[in-house]
């Protein structure tokens, strides 16, 4: 019998320490709800879980980014909706102004509203902002980070939606004196030329004057276009050419009608441009909405996968804790017995 080395006590202590460590690990898992509290619990699982957590966190932020993108688009589209209403009103005014029943003063009154709407369209484009970023003035491209990884972006382009960008800033429903003079010069050329014949008989100055009125003179210089196929001028300009050449009042009205016709053409194009931009924004908003839904679903599935790795099964771990708790108590009791074993040596010594 030996008293210096108590093998039974040492063995019991080792088992007690192991049970105590296992019990402490179970307590940590039960108190935190996590199966992995330190790298030693599951090194590979920790690495996988941390990568998943990074993706989940990135997707959460990407969702917020996409929601901000939707807000930006809604801001721009709301402003464009109002701009389109104003453009359509300007077109109505142009159609009204093209009617020969109006007097000069009537057209002057119409022009006041027409010009105010032009200014307001430009003001809306310059003042529409999102987080201090101008949306409609200039050609802007916005890139939204809609994924957790680099390169996962969606871009939205917004063209210049000012009156200038839409090509309607210089429109007027009232012709200037210079416009009337040019029209009379054209009328003189028309009255001196059979407008059913080829326009090759026109002089360079005649063609220049037509160009001043906004007429495309490319075909005219080729000498292949007849007067009655020239667009952009009122038919009255051809019919009443001789009268317009000498009657300034009649020329003023004809010039005003031509201005209104040109405005109708330009505003029709502007309506189409704004409608197209709004359609692009609507499509981008729908994409972002679907992106938000997809990010939510993907994040949910990744969270579930991460939970399988990271989270503790409370019922299973409670069973383990109960087992280790009993083993700890048993080992403690047995250690007490093992420590008392050398006491039997005293019986021999007292013999």
Q: Choose between 31 and 226: higher pLDDT.
A: 31
Residues 74 and 94 both lie in one domain:
yes
pLDDT, one tens digit per residue, over 205-251 is 776 776 666 666 665 555 545 555 555 566 666 667 778 888 888 88
Residues 230 and 123 both lie in one domain:
no
Neighbours of 250 (CB within 10 A): 18
Per-residue pLDDT averaged across 172-199, rounded? 75
Query: Does residue 17 fall inside a structural domain?
Result: yes
Query: Does residue 18 fall inside a structural domain?
Result: yes
What's the mean per-residue pLDDT of the chain?
A: 86
Query: Does residue 1 fall inside a structural domain?
Result: no
Residues 263 and 116 both lie in one domain:
yes
Residues 327 and 278 both lie in one domain:
no
Residues 74 and 140 both lie in one domain:
yes
Residues 125 and 269 both lie in one domain:
yes
Residues 138 and 168 both lie in one domain:
yes
Query: Does residue 41 fall inside a structural domain?
Result: no
Q: Total domain count for the chain?
A: 3
Q: Which two tokens stand for residue 160?
A: 């210049």
pLDDT band at 349 (very low <50, low <70, confident <90, very high): confident
Whether residue 124 has pLDDT greater than 70: yes
pLDDT band at 254 (very low <50, low <70, confident <90, very high): confident
Residues 66 and 213 both lie in one domain:
no
pLDDT, one tens digit per residue, over 265-316 is 999 999 999 999 999 999 999 999 999 999 999 999 999 999 888 888 888 8
Query: Does residue 22 fall inside a structural domain?
Result: yes
pLDDT band at 142 (very low <50, low <70, confident <90, very high): very high
Residues 223 and 237 both lie in one domain:
yes
Residues 163 and 65 both lie in one domain:
yes
pLDDT, one tens digit per residue, over 36-68 is 888 888 899 889 999 999 999 999 999 999 999
Dump the DSSP string for 234-292. -HHHHHTHHHHHH-HHHHHHHHHHHHHHHHHHHHHHHHHHHHHHHHHHHHHHHHHHHHH
Residues 293 and 163 both lie in one domain:
yes
Query: Does residue 288 fall inside a structural domain?
Result: yes
pLDDT, one tens digit per residue, over 88-100 is 999 999 999 999 8
Q: Which residues does residue 158 pair with via DSSP β-bridges, in sequence order?
A: 140
pLDDT band at 198 (very low <50, low <70, confident <90, very high): very low
pLDDT above 70 covers a percentage of the chain that reads 86
Both ends of the chain: CA-CA distance in Å? 15
Q: Which domain holds residue 184?
A: 177-257
**CA 252 to CA 179: how far, in whole Å?**
8
Query: Does residue 326 fall inside a structural domain?
Result: yes
Residues 219 and 264 both lie in one domain:
no
**CA 8 to CA 12: how far, in whole Å?**
6
Cβ-defined contacts of 321-329 (< 8 Å, 24+): 321/23, 321/26, 321/27, 321/30, 324/19, 324/22, 324/23, 324/26, 325/23, 327/15, 327/19, 327/22, 327/23, 328/16, 328/19, 328/20, 328/23
Query: Does residue 335 fall inside a structural domain?
Result: yes
Q: Which two tokens stand for residue 319?
A: 């069973």
């Amino acid at each position: 019998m030996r008293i210096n080395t108590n093998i039974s006590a040492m063995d019991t202590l080792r088992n007690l320490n192991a049970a105590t460590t296992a019990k402490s690990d179970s307590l940590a898992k039960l108190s935190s709800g996590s199966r992995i509290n330190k790298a030693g619990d599951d090194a590979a699982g920790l690495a996988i879980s941390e990568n998943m957590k990074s993706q989940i966190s990135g997707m959460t932020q990407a969702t917020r980014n996409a929601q901000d993108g939707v807000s930006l688009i809604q801001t721009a589209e709301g402003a464009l909706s109002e701009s389109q209403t104003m453009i359509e009103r300007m077109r109505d005014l142009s159609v009204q102004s093209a009617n020969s029943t109006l007097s000069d003063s009537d057209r002057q009154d119409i022009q006041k509203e027409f010009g105010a709407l032009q200014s307001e369209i430009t003001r809306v484009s310059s003042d529409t902002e999102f987080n201090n970023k101008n949306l409609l003035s200039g050609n802007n491209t916005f890139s939204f980070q809609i994924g957790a990884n680099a390169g996962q972006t969606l871009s939205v382009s917004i063209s210049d939606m000012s009156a200038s960008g839409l090509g309607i800033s210089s429109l007027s429903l009232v012709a200037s004196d210079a416009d009337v003079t040019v029209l009379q010069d054209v009328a003189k050329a028309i009255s001196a030329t059979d407008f059913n014949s080829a326009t090759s008989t026109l002089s360079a100055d005649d063609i220049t004057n037509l160009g001043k009125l906004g007429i495309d003179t490319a075909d005219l210089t080729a000498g292949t276009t007849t007067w009655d196929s020239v667009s952009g001028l009122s038919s009255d300009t051809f019919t009443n050419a001789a009268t317009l050449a000498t009657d300034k009042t009649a020329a003023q009205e004809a010039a005003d009608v031509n201005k209104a016709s040109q405005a109708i053409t330009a505003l029709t194009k502007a309506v189409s441009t704004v409608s197209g931009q709004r359609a692009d924004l609507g499509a981008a908003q729908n994409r972002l909405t679907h992106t938000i839904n997809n990010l939510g679903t993907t994040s949910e599935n990744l969270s579930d996968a991460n939970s399988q790795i990271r989270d503790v099964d409370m019922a299973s771990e409670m069973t383990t804790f109960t087992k280790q708790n009993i083993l700890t108590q048993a080992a403690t009791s047995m250690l007490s017995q093992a420590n008392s074993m050398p006491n039997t040596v005293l019986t021999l010594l007292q013999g």
